[in-house]
Amino acid sequence: MTVSDLIQQIEAKKSYLCVGLDSDIEKLPAHLPKTTASILTFNKAIIEATHEFAVAYKINTAFYEQYGAEGWNIMEKTLELIPKECFTIADAKRGDIGNTGKMYAKAFLQNMDFDSITVSPYMGRDSVEPFLSYGKVVIVLGLTSNSGSQDFQHLTTPNGKLYEEVISTVATWGSPENMMFVVGATQAEKLQEIRAIVPNHFLLVPGVGSQGGSLEEVSKNGLISSCGLLVNSSRGIIYKSNDEGFADAAREEAKLLQTEMASYL
């Protein structure tokens, strides 16, 4: 699925909602057994309940990789359950050079056939390029919302803040058709500055909902003519309820977000 396809889905669904499948055994609804098989049952119900309102799904690979081969199998089966009109994201945060980077890229973008993958640019251009060679979308960490982002991302350089220099430099390695950037929702006040650097790229914005990010502020500061936003909500949707009606509750939360998004488009 290309960025152009994604834009068409955004226009059709009047939504830029991405649902994060950070599925944790310990947080599954009370009636489901605490087993890895229940993760797939849970994911299936969430996808079926929310795909009408979502244009993308983000699978946080750590929640699956922890279980070894069984977890990878569940991740692959979850990916198969996602409707083809939805953009898929491997939230793997890889980033390495040479053959290692090539193998990471092959694993997620060829063998598993995700539409995109999140990548850390810390090691420089040759740690990002392997992921650009598959005709998919590379989503580069730009400005994150965790407290530790202050340690490095906000350091002052001769060209501004470090995150600004990273985004402006990395943007020259690709194009708006094959590259996006991660910007945390709790950094919404920085979105206008980031838009001045990358006016045409899509931004993946996690942190709306349970992490306290404001959809209104993100939309006001980040939307462009082609939308240019994927706003992710994970816990705020998938764990909206802990009882047997969890899928219905997830659907209602996704619908609420989509309705608000439609008002901004």
> For position 80, what pLDDT does the model report?
98
- Please give the sequence-ordered ranges of beta strands (E in DSSP) within 87-193, or none if there are none: 87-94, 116-119, 137-143, 156-157, 160-161, 179-183
> For position 117, what pLDDT does the model report?
98
CA distances from 125 to 92, 101, 103, 174, 225 (A): 18, 11, 16, 10, 29
Q: Which residue is associated with the tokens 């069984």?
A: 70
- Strand 116-119 and strand 137-143: pairing? parallel
User: Mean pLDDT of successive 10-residue segments in the chain (265 residues)?
Assistant: 97 98 96 96 98 98 97 98 98 96 97 98 96 96 90 92 96 98 84 94 86 85 96 95 97 98 97
> For position 210, what pLDDT does the model report?
58
Compute the 3-state secondary structure of the chain and give helix, strand, coil in percent, each to the nearest 5.
Answer: 50, 20, 30
Residue 149, exposed/middle/buried by CB under 10 A (0-12, 13-18, 19+)?
middle
Local structure of 134: helix, strand or coil: coil
> For position 209, what pLDDT does the model report?
65
**Set 14, 27, 58, 93: catalytic member:** 93
Write the pLDDT tens digit of every residue in 195-241: 999 999 999 999 886 566 789 999 999 999 999 999 999 999 999 99
Q: Return the structure tokens found at 186.
A: 């709790």
The domain spans of the chain are: 3-264
> For position 208, what pLDDT does the model report?
80
Nearest to 228 by CA among 261, 187, 189: 261
Q: Is the dihedral of CA 3, 198, 154, 213 positive or negative?
A: negative
Asked if 106 is an active-site residue, the reply is no
Measured between alpha carbons, how far is 60 from 71 in angstroms, rounded to an integer?
12
DSSP H helices in 54-170: 62-65, 69-81, 98-105, 125-132, 149-152, 162-170
- Beta-bridged to residue 138, according to DSSP, are 117, 179
> For position 211, what pLDDT does the model report?
63
Q: What is the value of pTM for the model shown? A: 0.96
Structural fold of domain 3-264: TIM Barrel (3.20.20)
